[in-house]
């Protein structure tokens, strides 16, 4: 296996002998030898084979050795080049060494060992130079790397430094900002240590609690937690939430300011823990929500109170009633409920206006308050309805005393804008012991009792009893039956003559309604008309009455033709009178019936007319224009305004039978009848006495100048067939 050559030598020389001798010698010494016979070829070989060392002659044709030398040194400065020359001229040697030759060997080379030595020495030097250069390069690389590393590090440090500087700047700015927030916040900000001592507070905190400064607050507040939340149970809850969740949100506490003023606050807080997780303190904010709370309370108050009078409203009243019932049933105690309704409040409202109506209600509320005790609940249930719960009274007589006090108070006039207004109330009283039903039931019963007070004449009180309750139930069953009766037409009209007191002639008939109940027989109108009025069924029923009365009247007029035809009067209820199309419908009815003109009469009670106030005038005039006659029924029992009376286009007053009844056999007690007759005459109205039962009564009214009368003395109300007989037997023609 041939040994790897020690190195490759290029010999450039034009003398073949010399080249050969060099080659032989150097190859023997282990070198590889390349040859070139002139400089140009020598450079080609050099460029192609990259020898480790070059031996070059100086004197050569084509390109001399110095040029080769210069080129090699330029192209490969690390490759040693040795000049082997025979010129022997010192200038050549100097020039060669100056151009970069590594050695100069003189020709002829007697001892080739010297050449080899020179070659080996040059190669060794080249190796050293190369190593040195590599080492230097390494070193330089290292230095360069280190330098860049150092640079990088420095830059990093600079950056870090800058960042730190920025952060410090920001911290300072933030600190200033937070301090400003702390100082200027509207909310109180606080820190409390684990012993409950306030360790930090902002000015707002001090201000909210009524202190001059945070320092003053901290110096004087004592235990901050108990100061902030006076309710121990609530405080415990606060700490429990704080412990369980680490924070508390919008926790509302109630306390007081330093000056004693009530303070509501909403607290947000969280715990701050130490390194080992133990609570070191808690901190948070506090907002004064007193205004908000007050507003809330106001809203709550508004929702439970009547805006006009400031009294509890129905909602609050019902709640209080439930509580009273509850207490009453548990302790078997006693309470009374008074249910009040103003009599004819509508008249006040219509005649004076709503603003004055409101004023009246306010004054009334004041008076009622003066009649009740502090602990009673007085409420306005709506409109002109008020109610009182009294747990103070111990018996029914206690409750009636309250009612009497109220009725007494009502006797004084109310001064409304300079007007003296008299008003009355009707009161229903219900007394409860033990369990007495739900609030709704108790209220309903009280309401019902109040209505009884109204129907018994107003301006009075009635006490609820169970019989009344039964009556209610009866009324309910009756209502069901009544609807059925209406569908099956179980109604009938009876007729009662109204006669001329001087001649006994039948002038007109009053149509009176009867319910012919399949099991209970005839039910009198007073037992069902109030109910029909209440549920509105009186309207369709009233129309049936009008149609039936007209039909009957036309029939009777045909049967008994007279110069002054027979009349018929029909009772009109409040609900009917309130129908806007009453006139229109009556007009249609009259045009379809064969009733003689001016013979249909309408009876309207005094209170129905008065309750509608001004509106009644228009309606009455419209009816009048249809040729209808208008009678004021039950005159003297209601609320009369004489100043109104003359403005109403009415024809006759029917004197209520309670006044006629007063007239005794000797003719005494006729004062009221005399007064009414006098009034009627003054107003140019006709007069009918109702309920004439005795000859004595008849004699008195005749003397007083009352032209017409109605009553059992002449005839009871009777069915159509009977009235025909009556008229046939009583053929006296009325005189005008
Ligand atoms: P009212 O309009 O005052 O009718 C007269 C009432 O007095 C009738 O009672 C009649 O039977 C009764 N009466 C007549 N003469 C005498 C007498 O000499 N002595 C006594 N004690 N009573 C006498 P009735 O028929 O029970 O009617 C009661 C009320 O029912 C009527 O009172 C009226 O307000 C109402 N009413 C009757 N029919 C109708 C109707 O068709 N529609 C409306 N809305 N109400 C009616
Ligand atoms: Ca009547
Ligand atoms: Ca009457």
Check residue 696 and give its pLDDT: 93
Q: With bands split at pLDDT 50, 70 and 90, how would you rate the model's confidence at 613? A: confident
Q: 112-126 burial by CB neighbour count: b if 16+ within 10 A, else e?
A: beebbebbeebbeeb
Predicted confidence (pLDDT) per residue in 179-195, tens digit? 888 888 889 999 998 88
309-464 — its CATH code? 3.30.70.270
Q: Does ligand 1 come within 6 angstroms of the Cβ of 633?
A: yes
CA 654 – ligand 3 centroid, Å: 6
| pLDDT at residue 289 tops 60 | yes
Check residue 643 and give its pLDDT: 64
d(CA 10, CA 444): 138
Q: With bands split at pLDDT 50, 70 and 90, how would you rate the model's confidence at 467? A: low
More confident: 296 or 690: 690
CA 570 – ligand 2 centroid, Å: 7
CA distances from 515 to 527, 553, 670 (A): 10, 20, 35
* Tally of CA atoms within 13 A in the half-sphere of 485 that contains its CB: 25
Pocket test for ligand 1, best of 494, 511, 512, 723 (most atoms within 8 A of CB): 512
Question: Ligand 2 (ion): which residues have CB within 5 A?
Answer: 571, 603, 633
Check residue 530 and give its pLDDT: 81
Q: What is the DSSP letter of 525?
A: G
Ligand 1 closest atom vs CA 713? 18
Which of the ligands is closest to the CA of residue 601?
2
| pLDDT at residue 450 tops 90 | yes
Q: Does ligand 1 come within 6 angstroms of the Cβ of 571?
A: yes
Q: Does ligand 1 come within 6 angstroms of the Cβ of 435?
A: no
CA 651 – ligand 2 centroid, Å: 14
CA 727 – ligand 1 centroid, Å: 20
| pLDDT at residue 49 tops 60 | yes
Residue whose CA is closest, atom 23 of ligand 1? 691
| pLDDT at residue 473 tops 70 | no
Q: Where in the chain is the domain with CATH 3.30.70.270?
A: 309-464
Q: Does ligand 1 come within 6 angstroms of the Cβ of 693?
A: yes
Judge residue 524's burial from the number of C-beta atoms within 10 Å of its C-beta, 0-12 exposed, 13-18 middle, 19 or more buried. Answer: exposed
Question: Ligand 3 (ion): which residues have CB within 5 A?
Answer: 633-634, 690
Q: With bands split at pLDDT 50, 70 and 90, how would you rate the model's confidence at 369? A: very high
CA 595 – ligand 1 centroid, Å: 23
CA 254 – ligand 3 centroid, Å: 68
CA 689 – ligand 3 centroid, Å: 9
d(CA 647, CA 617): 7
CA 486 – ligand 2 centroid, Å: 22
Q: Residue 281 region, left (φ>0) first, then alpha (ψ -120 to 50), else beta?
A: beta
Average pLDDT of the residues of the chain: 89
Q: 352-365 burial by CB neighbour count: b if 16+ within 10 A, else e?
A: beeebbebbbbbbb
Predicted confidence (pLDDT) per residue in 101-142, tens digit? 888 888 888 888 888 998 998 999 888 888 888 888 888 888
CA 594 – ligand 1 centroid, Å: 26
CA 449 – ligand 1 centroid, Å: 24
d(CA 23, CA 29): 10
Q: Does ligand 1 come within 6 angstroms of the Cβ of 529?
A: yes
Q: Does ligand 1 come within 6 angstroms of the Cβ of 496?
A: yes
Average pLDDT over residues 676-687: 90
Pocket test for ligand 1, best of 496, 542, 571 (most atoms within 8 A of CB): 571
d(CA 455, CA 452): 5
Which of the ligands is closest to the CA of residue 717?
1
Predicted confidence (pLDDT) per residue in 323-332, tens digit? 998 888 888 7
Check residue 399 and give its pLDDT: 92
Average pLDDT over residues 708-728: 96
User: Which superfamily is assigned to 496-512+543-729 in CATH?
Assistant: EAL domain (3.20.20.450)
CA 501 – ligand 3 centroid, Å: 18
The crossing angle, in degrees rounded to 10, of helices 582-592 and 538-559 is 30
Q: What angle do CA 484, 485, 489 make, to 5 degrees?
A: 125
Residue whose CA is closest, atom 10 of ligand 1? 717
Residue whose CA is closest, atom 7 of ligand 1? 691
More confident: 691 or 640: 691
Ligand 1 closest atom vs CA 573? 44
CA 605 – ligand 3 centroid, Å: 8
More confident: 608 or 602: 602
Q: 662-693 burial by CB neighbour count: b if 16+ within 10 A, else e?
A: ebeeeeeebebbbebbebbeeeebbbbbbbbe
Check residue 548 and give its pLDDT: 97
Check residue 140 and give its pLDDT: 86
Predicted confidence (pLDDT) per residue in 330-361, tens digit? 887 889 999 999 998 988 888 888 999 999 99
Q: Where in the chain is the domain with CATH 3.20.20.450?
A: 496-512+543-729
Q: What is the DSSP letter of 537?
A: T
Q: Where in the chain is the domain with CATH 3.40.50.2300?
A: 8-132
Q: Which of 348, 424, 414, 357 is nearest to 613 (CA)?
A: 348
Residue whose token pair is 């056999």: 665
Ligand 1 closest atom vs CA 712? 18
d(CA 403, CA 381): 17
Radius of gyration (C-alpha) of the chain in whole angstroms: 65
Q: Which of 725, 392, 347, 734 is nearest to 565 (CA)?
A: 734
| pLDDT at residue 681 tops 80 | yes
User: Which superfamily is assigned to 185-294 in CATH?
Assistant: PAS domain (3.30.450.20)
Check residue 642 and give its pLDDT: 63
d(CA 621, CA 640): 19
d(CA 515, CA 465): 28
| pLDDT at residue 641 tops 70 | no
Strands annotated E in 450-590:
461-463, 491-500, 506-517, 521-523, 567-571
CA 691 – ligand 3 centroid, Å: 8
Predicted confidence (pLDDT) per residue in 535-567, tens digit? 889 999 999 999 999 999 999 999 999 999 999
Predicted confidence (pLDDT) per residue in 556-607, tens digit? 999 999 999 999 999 999 999 999 999 999 999 999 999 999 999 999 998 8
CA 640 – ligand 2 centroid, Å: 18
Q: Does ligand 1 come within 6 angstroms of the Cβ of 573?
A: yes
Q: Does ligand 1 come within 6 angstroms of the Cβ of 710?
A: yes
Q: Where in the chain is the domain with CATH 3.30.450.20?
A: 185-294
Predicted confidence (pLDDT) per residue in 301-317, tens digit? 888 999 999 999 999 99
**Contact present, 6 and 50 (Cβ < 8 Å):** no
Ligand 1 closest atom vs CA 693? 18
Query: So what CATH class is 8-132?
Result: alpha beta
| pLDDT at residue 88 tops 80 | no
Q: With bands split at pLDDT 50, 70 and 90, how would you rate the model's confidence at 665? A: confident
Q: With bands split at pLDDT 50, 70 and 90, how would you rate the model's confidence at 437? A: confident
| pLDDT at residue 470 tops 70 | no
Q: Does ligand 1 come within 6 angstroms of the Cβ of 545?
A: yes
Check residue 204 and give its pLDDT: 93
The pTM (predicted TM-score) of the whole model is 0.47
Q: What percent of the chain has pLDDT over 70?
A: 97
Q: Does ligand 1 come within 6 angstroms of the Cβ of 711?
A: yes
Residue whose CA is closest, atom 22 of ligand 1? 691
CA 642 – ligand 1 centroid, Å: 25
Q: Does ligand 1 come within 6 angstroms of the Cβ of 513?
A: yes
Which of the ligands is closest to the CA of residue 527?
1
Check residue 334 and give its pLDDT: 86
Q: Does ligand 1 come within 6 angstroms of the Cβ of 606?
A: no
**Contact present, 263 and 229 (Cβ < 8 Å):** no
Q: Does ligand 1 come within 6 angstroms of the Cβ of 457?
A: no
Check residue 639 and give its pLDDT: 62
Backbone angles phi, psi at 568, to 5 degrees: -145, 130
């Amino acid at each position: 296996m041939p040994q790897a050559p020690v190195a490759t030598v290029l010999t450039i020389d034009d003398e073949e002998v010399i080249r050969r001798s060099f080659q032989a010698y150097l190859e023997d010494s282990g070198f590889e030898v390349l040859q070139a016979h002139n400089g140009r070829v020598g450079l080609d070989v050099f460029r192609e084979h990259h020898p480790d060392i070059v031996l070059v002659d100086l004197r050569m044709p084509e390109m001399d050795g110095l040029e080769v030398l210069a080129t090699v040194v330029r192209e490969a400065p690390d490759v040693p080049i040795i000049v082997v020359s025979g010129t022997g001229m010192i200038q050549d040697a100097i020039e060669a060494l100056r151009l970069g030759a590594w050695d100069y060997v003189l020709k002829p080379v007697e001892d080739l060992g010297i050449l080899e030595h020179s070659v080996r020495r040059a190669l060794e030097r080249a190796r050293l130079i190369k190593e040195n250069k590599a080492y230097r390069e390494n070193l330089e690389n290292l230095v360069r790397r280190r330098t860049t590393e150092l640079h990088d590090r420095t830059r990093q440090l600079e950056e870090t430094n800058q960042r730190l500087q920025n952060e410090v700047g920001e911290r300072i700015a933030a600190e200033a900002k937070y301090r400003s927030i702390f100082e200027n916040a509207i909310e109180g900000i606080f820190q409390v240590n684990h012993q409950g001592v306030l360790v930090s507070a902002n000015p707002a905190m001090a201000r909210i609690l009524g202190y001059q400064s945070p320092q003053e607050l901290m110096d004087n507040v004592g235990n901050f937690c108990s100061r902030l939340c006076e309710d121990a149970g609530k405080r415990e809850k606060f700490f429990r939430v704080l412990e369980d969740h680490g924070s508390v949100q919008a926790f509302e506490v109630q306390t007081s300011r330093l000056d004693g003023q009530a303070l509501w606050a909403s607290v947000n807080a969280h715990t701050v823990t130490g390194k080992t997780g133990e609570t070191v303190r808690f901190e948070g904010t506090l907002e004064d929500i007193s205004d908000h709370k007050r507003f809330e309370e106001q809203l709550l108050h508004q929702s439970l109170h009547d805006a006009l009078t400031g009294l509890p409203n129905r909602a609050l009243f019902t709640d209080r009633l439930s509580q009273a019932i509850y207490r009453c049933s548990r302790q078997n105690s006693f309470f009374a409920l008074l249910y009040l309704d103003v009599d004819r409040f509508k008249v006040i409202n219509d005649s004076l206006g709503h603003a004055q109506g409101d004023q009246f209600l306010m004054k009334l509320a004041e008076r009622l308050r003066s009649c009740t005790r502090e602990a009673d609940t007085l409420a306005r249930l709506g409109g002109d309805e008020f109610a009182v719960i009294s747990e103070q009274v111990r018996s029914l007589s206690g409750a009636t005393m309250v009612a009497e006090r109220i009725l007494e108070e009502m006797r004084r006039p109310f001064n409304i804008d300079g007007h003296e207004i008299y008003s009355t109330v009707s009161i229903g009283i219900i007394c409860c012991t033990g369990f007495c039903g739900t609030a709704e039931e108790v209220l309903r019963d009280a309401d019902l009792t109040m209505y009884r007070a109204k129907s018994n004449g107003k301006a009075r009180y009635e006490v609820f009893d169970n019989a009344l309750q039964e009556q209610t139930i009866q009324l309910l069953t009756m209502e069901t039956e009544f609807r059925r009766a209406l569908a099956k037409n179980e109604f009938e009209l009876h007729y009662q003559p109204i006669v001329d007191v001087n001649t006994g002639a039948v002038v007109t008939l009053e149509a009176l309604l009867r319910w012919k109940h399949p099991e209970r027989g005839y039910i009198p109108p007073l037992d069902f008309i109030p109910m029909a009025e209440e549920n509105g069924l009186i309207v369709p029923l009233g129309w049936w009455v009008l149609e039936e009365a007209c039909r009957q009247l036309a029939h009777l007029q045909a049967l008994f033709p007279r110069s002054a035809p027979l009349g018929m009067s029909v009772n009109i209820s409040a609900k009917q009178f309130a129908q806007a199309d009453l006139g229109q419908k009556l007009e249609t009815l009259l045009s379809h019936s064969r009733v003689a003109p001016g013979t249909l009469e309408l009876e309207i009670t005094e209170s129905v007319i008065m309750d509608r106030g001004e509106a009644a005038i228009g309606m009455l005039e419209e009816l009048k224009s249809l040729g209808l006659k208008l009678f004021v029924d039950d005159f003297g029992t209601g609320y009369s305004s004489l100043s109104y009376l003359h403005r109403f286009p009415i024809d006759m007053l029917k004197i209520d039978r309670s006044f006629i009844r007063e007239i005794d056999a000797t003719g005494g007690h006729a004062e009221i009848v005399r007064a009414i007759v006098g009034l009627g005459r003054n107003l140019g109205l006709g007069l009918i006495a109702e309920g004439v039962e005795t000859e004595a009564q008849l004699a008195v009214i005749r003397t007083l100048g009352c032209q017409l009368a109605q009553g059992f003395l002449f005839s009871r109300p009777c069915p159509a067939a009977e009235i025909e007989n009556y008229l046939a037997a009583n053929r006296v023609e009325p005189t005008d």
